[in-house]
Structure 1
């Protein structure tokens, strides 16, 4: 049986407030951080989370920047990166034999 507890932190949507929010999560004993939603916020979150070896799961972070596991070893995403989406779009266009969109 698996039991999950969570802490919900509300923050403004700026990258400046993200490190403090991540630190609060770590200090509260959270083992994983889900979010934040934007690339700048995710980058800020990872700077703090990596110090504490805390994984960050990006539910909206599509930037290919985070695909570098050498730098962002504690990052996982639940959505494909922008590069994967572009490849899929190009493959679809070829399959449909579209010349322009």
Structure 2
């Protein structure tokens, strides 16, 4: 019996390591649906205050990044798509703020 209880902590650590690995891998391979939606909404909000005219450079960079994110998403490059969508959202928010000033 002593050998059995000695292996229990090792088994528990191994199980935790496998769980964490699956969790991290799963998150990395999930499509960035929310990030893409957030970027699209931010672009629409920027359009509503005239960003395509009043903050055209920032707005266009945002739109271009969203297009790149869509291409990355289609190619299954979820991490790149997630990063590009987040950057597109940030630029769209910046364009909205500039256009509203």
> Which TM-score bucket, shorter chain as reference?
under 0.3
Does 1 or 2 have the higher relative contact order (CA < 8 Å, sep 6+)? Answer: 2
TM score, norm. by length of structure 2: 0.26
Higher helix share: 2
Question: Where is the strand percentage greater, Structure 1 or Structure 2?
Answer: 1
User: Who wins on radius of gyration, i.e. which is larger?
Assistant: 2
